[in-house]
Structure 1
Amino acid sequence: MPKSLVSRLPPGLPLILQALSINALPVAVIITASRFLYIHNNVKIPTTLVVLAALVSIPAVYAARIIYRSWSIKRRAARMGAVLPPVWKGKSFGSLDVLKYGLELVRKGYPGDGFWDRIDEFGGLHSMNVLWDLVHITTDAHILKTVLATDFQSFEKGDMFRDTMNSVLGVGVFNADGELWKFHRSMTRPYFSRDRISHFEMFDRHADLALKKMKERFRGGHAIDFQDLISRFTMDSATEFLFGSCVHSLKSDLPYAYNDPLALGIVRSQSAADRFSAAFAAAQEVIAMRSRIGWTWRLMELWTDASKEHMKVVDEYLQPILEDAIRKNRNSTGKGQAEADENETLLDHLVKYTDEFNVLHDETLNIMIAGRDTTAATLTFAIYLLCLYPEVFKRLRAEILEKIGPTQMPNFDDIRTMKYLRAVINETLRLYPIVPFNIRVATRDTTIPNPDPTKPPIFVPAKVGVAYSVFLMHRRKDYWGPDALYFDPDRFLDERLNKYFTGNPFIFLPFNAGPRICLGQQFAYNEMSFFLIRLLQNFSHMELDLNAQPPDARPPPEWAGAEGQRGAEKIVPRMHLTLYVHGGLWVKMTEAERTA
């Protein structure tokens, strides 16, 4: 049975037990000492004084541990010939003011506001010690190259990351380290080893339905939430790709804008697909918030796992599919064959390796997050940018009509020849990378490059995290030039490509890097390219419908004066595990005229 359907201990209980175990020893020592003095020396210490001493011992032990850890880190750094990064120190106890400030801006600000505010001031690397939880924070490409690739063995997702994500990601590939990660990787790698014609046929079926739904709404004069629609397209594609069993979310009615007369008085009944999608998104929101507040998330969920009810809905969908796949594989004669057949689903492929329910459950859920949310987010921001920059839209549509024509279904070779299409996707991924913030944890005392190459390396203690932002790194002017904050697909085609990217490829990491680089990268490029081609074949014009954008999903006035894309925003980018548009992306489009 899936672990979210099995009763678990309250999330706060381990934290309570840990605190008790730490505090029990000094309290026990004081009580034992008082008893010893009374029994052997007939010295009776007043009970009130014993209790007071026991209570004082608790913060005293914590303070001693903090002081010792700080001294130990400095000593170990010096032994390795390394230095510590500059520290962003808060003004209040435990830097709680920094935590409060960061969380407020995560909810209300622009991606990168809050905990990352002083990254430029500190030269691309600093550390924070909020509630004595030390973490290094960076946007330096050389550090990312070390952490993700050249010193890969010294860094992992870490216990805290796994603990935070476990109720949703379980032991899946994104939440695994070491041998377990290698096992998951070896299971999925063969399936992504080559392109499949069946993928394009699948994309085409779901794209046809999505385009039909769009045209029906536009012909009626209504805007659509493209983010909602494309999430349905990628959900249907992902579930068919994974399970061969589509949730058919595109068959449900699309939502109307908040101010559309047809939205008034209409109560939309949720289909099974709607419930699954909503629960899936809500569960990710829970674990994303946990990651932002560190170990204190257990205090917020002291007695109840906030993801539990959402995961019940997800598991109700997954359970019969997984059980059926396991049963079919046990009855088949091909068990153990790792060769991937042309028409088999990913689940068909995975059950050849294992029939453990929880392993299959967690792995498919991990890949669904990668295959559904990431592609939907990139396509949402791509359409947003094409609406903002009509000259890019016209040029891209001209390439599509020239290379493929107004109706032909694209194939692999077509997509490979479309350089401007790839540049548009890459520039979208640069400004709005799928996973904007991430972290790795040191498995041992180690070092990372100093952003200032004239100075000693930076010390990273064992079990300390290195948080990194691809989102902010992709917008650094020293990496991408003086126009780094602006949308310009030509930077992937002209002399800027060689000037900035070719010699330092770690400045562009939308799909991660090193041994954990995304196996589905080409699948994602194919799916995104296919849908954009189909969309621009069918529509000759697109624009944002800002009136349909909910009032609370419009950029605050202070953004308007900012340099680059932030100052041009017409929507509010937000993030859980991946980026999304707060309140949806409301657009209108004009159908292309068909010539005989």
Structure 2
Amino acid sequence: MLTVTPGIVLLLRGLTIYVGPTILLIAATKQLASTRDISLPTWFLVIVGLLAIPAYSVVRIATSEFKLKRDAAAMGCQLVPRIRGKKLANIDILWRLLESWEADYPGEAILDIVKEMGPVIDMHVLYDSSIFTICPEHIKIILATDFNNYVKGENFSHSMADVLGTGVFNSDGDMWKFHRSMTRPFFSRDRISHYELFDRHADIAILKIKERMRSGFAIDFQDLMGRFTLDSATEFLFGSCVHSLSGRLPYPHNASFVSEPSLSANSHIPEEFAHAFLHAQEVISKRERAGWTWPLAEIFRNATEEPMKVVNAFVEPIIKDAIEKRRIAKAQELTEEVKNANEVGENDTLLDHLAKQTSDPVVLKDETLNIMLAGRDTTAATLTFIIYFLSMYPEVTTRLRREILDKVGSTRRPTYDDIRDMKYLRAVINETLRLYPVVPFNIRSTVHATTWPAVNPSEKPYYIPAQTKVPYSVFLMHRRKDLWGPDAEEFDPDRFLDERLQKYLIHNSFIFLPFNAGPRICLGQQFAYNEMSFMVIRLLQNFSSLSLDLDAQPPSSKPDPAWANSSGRKAVEKFWPRTNLTMYSLGGLWVRMNEAPESAE
């Protein structure tokens, strides 16, 4: 039985677009010949048919270019500077970007183009305009001041739908509003301060670190934080922790054989889920980078199908239980006072709350997976990068630990007010998010034609056509020296505390967007700050110093030695930052930690 894959759909659509003109041209040629009593040989009609597609393409491109210039002139605008590649349809530019994505530092190929052409560029790959920007003025328009004119768009939603469905991160308009309104009430102050929940899982994580350090091996902190945030997220979302922290932790590639007790079959389920969810994210991330051509790589199979079987097998029974639980509760309410579906019960999980709004299992699954992506992967990545920087900059660790011990002490659990008052901790987190925002690249599509201010204020504004992709990068914007100062690529938390705060950030708040902005600003922002702050405090209460174990890092995941000849952060990094939908450290982050005297047994 033939499976209709995305690639087959794209090919059929292409045939529909291009076969029509071919048939029409052949028919018109035959008709013209017959009126003049000319007999045309079959080979001539075949040539006419073969020429029809390129001729039609040339006409379409020329017509589109003429219309673009005419519309820009009518609005008194200039066109965005366009890349001129060396090959047809800028295919060399596309190849360069894809190759760099896999083999170089994040955004490096784009940065080279930006240095040459400026911070706003029309990539124009495969004759498809894609207007890329790292200007805060433009990003502010996209996310806030002209929000309704910039949507995820049909193409983006299609490429992400197999994993994210119609969830809040993959929807527009009324569907987006519906998901947003369902979720918003759950992120109140009492809900974002789940310190008992954090503490239970943090205690297990810290115990795992101590056990590993005492055995003499480094620990993959990224893997550990993935487990910590997965356990926290599943308990927060579903009320049922998957206990991934109880599973076997990986050992360094160079470790000799370590004998450990065998685990039950069920102990592998959380790891299988986490790996499958990551694999599915990698697939849809590659789809978006490939643009409209991505289905061609999936002609024979849908690449998300296998990993999503694992994800669905994990999530769907939980969704089913939540719907049944709500059905029973609703039946009981018929004999009692009916409760407001928008109210969040004291013991409600997020899924319980969502089940009050809808009993559609697809909607519930889509939304919980969207929130899990936001609440698990992003927090785990940022905690990993924080520990990386603390390992790289011991003076920052010493100062931060001093603030923690002064405010909280060496054993007490921090409170909401403790975390709020710890200015240097917040600065360390913000500086980490500035250099490594967890969603480094993003994209929208225009609904209607519009304009952007030119980089040079004395020039005409840029013309932005309707139905045009507008990718942007907060990763590259956060490192612009004209926005953040000459030390923009240095890790320095004090920039969020000293005169630079007033000079740069307060002067233009849209130069710092780790959690998005405008109507789509992350609802879980404060939840993430609280979870990250709590974990960092607990770690530095228990460990006095941290260091990277570069020998434990898998050789294939180490930065290319040639990076040392570059400039900025690329030249000094000791790990390889990579990106799918969110950022992560290739090969994990292998660290060693020294127990603080108070916590050592």
How far does the alpha carbon of each residue in 1:22-63 deviate from its partner, in whole angstroms, 9 at most, with x for none?
112212213333553576664322111112101110111111
Matched, 1:271 2:268: yes
2:172 pairs, out of 165, 171, 177, with: 177
In 2, distance between residues paired with 1:260 and 1:267? 19
What is the Cα deviation at residue 265 of structure 1? 12
Matched, 1:362 2:359: no
In 2, distance between residues paired with 1:115 and 1:51? 43
Q: Is the 8 A contact 2:26 2:45 kept in 1?
A: yes
Matched, 1:311 2:308: yes
Matched, 1:98 2:102: no
1:540 is paired with a residue whose SS is strand
CA distance 1:552–1:319, change in 2 (3 Å): same
In 1, distance between residues paired with 2:28 and 2:86? 38
Q: Is the 8 A contact 2:577 2:585 kept in 1?
A: yes
Tell me the equivalent position of 1:281: 278
Matched, 1:443 2:447: yes
Tell me the equivalent position of 1:70: 65
Q: Which runs of 4+ in 1 moved over 6 A?
A: 264-270
Q: How does 1:23-422 map to 2 (within 5 A)?
A: 23-37=18-32, 42-196=37-191, 199-262=194-257, 271-332=268-329, 333=333, 337-422=341-426
* TM-score of the pair, normalised by structure 2: 0.95
In 1, distance between residues paired with 2:28 and 2:71? 35
| Equivalent AA in structure 2 for residue 30 of structure 1 | L
CA distance 1:8–1:173, change in 2 (3 Å): farther
How far does the alpha carbon of each residue in 1:388-430 deviate from its partner, in whole angstroms, 9 at most, with x for none?
0000000000000000000111111110000000000000000
How far does the alpha carbon of each residue in 1:5-33 deviate from its partner, in whole angstroms, 9 at most, with x for none?
xx973111221121111112212213333
CA distance 1:335–1:354, change in 2 (3 Å): farther
Matched, 1:496 2:493: no
2:529 pairs, out of 525, 528, 531, with: 525
In 1, distance between residues paired with 2:298 and 2:458? 46
In 2, distance between residues paired with 1:263 and 1:454? 67
Matched, 1:563 2:558: no
Q: Is the 8 A contact 1:257 1:263 kept in 2?
A: no
| Equivalent AA in structure 1 for residue 285 of structure 2 | A
Deviates more, 1:121-130 or 1:571-580: 121-130
In 2, distance between residues paired with 1:561 and 1:311? 41
2:116 is paired with a residue whose SS is coil
* TM-score of the pair, normalised by structure 1: 0.96
Q: Is the 8 A contact 2:26 2:48 kept in 1?
A: no
CA distance 1:232–1:55, change in 2 (3 Å): same
1:484 pairs, out of 485, 488, 492, with: 488
Tell me the equivalent position of 2:520: 516
What is the Cα deviation at residue 347 of structure 1? 0.5
In 2, distance between residues paired with 1:379 and 1:198? 17
What is the Cα deviation at residue 561 of structure 1? 3.0
| Equivalent AA in structure 2 for residue 236 of structure 1 | D
How far does the alpha carbon of each residue in 1:263-313 deviate from its partner, in whole angstroms, 9 at most, with x for none?
699999870011000001000001111111111111111121111100000
2:105 is paired with a residue whose SS is coil
In 2, distance between residues paired with 1:167 and 1:481? 42
CA distance 1:490–1:440, change in 2 (3 Å): same
How far does the alpha carbon of each residue in 1:197-228 deviate from its partner, in whole angstroms, 9 at most, with x for none?
87111111111111111111101111000000
| Equivalent AA in structure 1 for residue 241 of structure 2 | C
2:124 is paired with a residue whose SS is strand
2:109 is paired with a residue whose SS is coil
| Equivalent AA in structure 2 for residue 33 of structure 1 | A
What is the Cα deviation at residue 160 of structure 1? 1.3
| Equivalent AA in structure 2 for residue 185 of structure 1 | R
Identity level (%): 55
In 2, distance between residues paired with 1:562 and 1:212? 40
Q: Is the 8 A contact 1:196 1:342 kept in 2?
A: no
In 2, distance between residues paired with 1:71 and 1:331? 63
Q: Is the 8 A contact 2:192 2:530 kept in 1?
A: no
Q: Is the 8 A contact 2:192 2:527 kept in 1?
A: no
Deviates more, 1:26-35 or 1:553-562: 26-35
What is the Cα deviation at residue 117 of structure 1? 2.1
Q: Is the 8 A contact 1:94 1:131 kept in 2?
A: yes
Matched, 1:470 2:467: no
Q: Is the 8 A contact 1:34 1:44 kept in 2?
A: no
2:291 is paired with a residue whose SS is helix
Deviates more, 1:257-266 or 1:277-286: 257-266
What is the Cα deviation at residue 120 of structure 1? 2.7
